Amino acid sequence: MALSIESAIERLLNNLKAAGRADATLDLYRYTLKPLINECGHSMNEPCNQSTIDNLLKKVEERYAEGKIVFEFYRFSKRACRLLYESGTEMTINLSADTSQMRRFVPDNMYDGLIEDIIKSCNFCESSEADIGALIRRFFCFIEEMNIVLNDVQNSTFFQFADYCSETVKGTMYRVVRAVKCLSKYFKEHKIGNVTADFSGLKAGPRNIRLIPAFSSEEIEKFLKAIDTDTPIGKRDKAIITLAAATGIRGCDIADLTFSCIDWKKKTIHFIQRKIHRPLLLPVPNSVLNDIADYILHGRPDIESQYVFLTSRAPYKQFDSSMHSIMKKYCAKAGVENIKGRGFHSVRRFFATQSIQNGVSIFAVSEMLGHKDISEDRVYLSVDAEMNSFIAADFSECQLSGTVYTSSVFGGIR
């Protein structure tokens, strides 16, 4: 007998976690499957059987045919559905295709030792070893297909390979370039073929940056007015939205908040960011703390759980559903235009944009958002003439003003 869809997802995520997958990988499976299941009209309590999986796969095929998803995500979605079926039917979950992307391309085994040596020479981290290693293997598949022997590899071979890859991996050409650098360096140093060029300065073209549409202050106010705060769900949703709008915290980090993360006396929250595994300390306004307290005292299920935000129905557990569904619900209730691309992440952009417009240094905003690099903040800023001129400016001339929040320690704010 098949498990329920909800139980199948939970079993799959547990298996992925036990296999050492990063939290970001677990999130990718979670936020791929759950919206797909909702789009197909399935309930999480339905059995995860062959019929269910067929419907999911059909929807994936439709989305790809309509150009709504790229090939890489199309392929990943199909794999996620396959693993979900294995999980739901309580089969042994075969993670071999997920364990190492290098297995997607299998050149002649005569190259195995050479490939292994090239990968070792690059000193990749675990995630890069899988991604770039797959492309290194693909290179050897490419020269086999082109009937090129090792002694005939030359500078132009690497450009041909890059052009060959561009047909299927347009969004990740930076990885192809990195693979070319590793391969050409190794071939040159070990005098394989006739490789004379220095590819170290090779760069991929600029990637298209998707601007994330922000919500306005007026729209945030409309959301809050549309929430029925007399209900437990309403109290929870209001606390989540006000917390996101006031701090810019990611949805996944809101879901991960535990009681130990909140310092009611100092009026701060501190946590390890799920996405980048770095600590972050943020101040929280009194009004938001009141919303959280109202939910805990009068809306949260009375069960023992370390997580602050829980599901509204039994069995009660961590509220880790797609935060996007919350904004979609209140967009409809508040009569706010549902612009394509806007979701819960747009509340994060609202926070960044408002902070910049209120004179907070972009360096401070970058710290509060928990970004590794200040360049990541560009996509969060509103698009108008004044802001465009600010984005184009040299940040080295910007003076720090107001409060700077440190993410390196939990000991305080400077």
Tell me, what DSSP letter sits at residue 307?
A: B
Nearest to 128 by CA among 167, 108, 101: 101
Instruction: Report the relative pairing of strands 262-263 and 268-272 from DSSP bridges.
Output: antiparallel
Q: What is the pLDDT of residues 53-67, one digit of tens each?
A: 999 999 998 888 887
Q: Taking the C-alpha atoms of 11, 17, 18 and 20 in order, what is their torsion angle to the nearest 10 degrees?
A: 150
Q: Is the CATH code 1.10.287.1400 the one for domain 217-397? A: no
What whole-number distance in Å separates Cα of residue 66 and Cα of residue 61?
9
Query: Which two tokens mark 263?
Result: 């310092």
Q: Which residue has the tokens 């364990």?
A: 99
Average pLDDT, the chain: 81
Q: H-helix or E-strand containing 280?
A: strand 279-283
DSSP-derived 3-state class of residue 323: coil
What whole-number distance in Å separates Cα of residue 6 and Cα of residue 266?
38
Out of 28-32, 114-118, 327-331, 399-403, give the one with best mean pLDDT. Answer: 114-118
Locate all alpha helices (DSSP H) within 89-210, ordered by sequence: 96-99, 112-122, 126-145, 155-165, 173-189
What whole-number distance in Å separates Cα of residue 71 and Cα of residue 393?
36
Q: What is the pLDDT of residues 326-354, one digit of tens each?
A: 888 898 999 988 777 778 888 888 888 88
Of 118 and 364, which is predicted with more confidence? Answer: 118
The reported pLDDT for the residue numbered 210 is 56
Percent of the chain at pLDDT > 70 equals 83
Q: Could you tell me the CA-to-CA distances from 275 to 24, 256, 306 in Å, in that order?
A: 6, 11, 20
Q: What is the pLDDT of residues 208-267, one digit of tens each?
A: 555 567 888 899 999 999 999 999 999 999 999 999 999 999 888 999 999 999 999 999
What whole-number distance in Å separates Cα of residue 49 and Cα of residue 1?
9
Percent of the chain at pLDDT > 90 equals 39
Residue 327 and residue 342 in contact, taking contact as beta carbons nearer than 8 Å: yes
At a CB cut-off of 8 Å and minimum separation 6, what does 41 contact?
A: none
Query: Which two tokens mark 353?
Result: 């944009």
At a CB cut-off of 8 Å and minimum separation 6, what does 170 contact?
A: 70
Q: What is the pLDDT of residues 291-312, one digit of tens each?
A: 999 999 999 999 999 999 998 8
Give the end-to-end CA distance of the chain in Å, rounded to a whole number: 57
Q: H-helix or E-strand containing 374?
A: none
The angle formed by the CA atoms of residues 226, 282 and 13, to the nearest 5 degrees, is 75
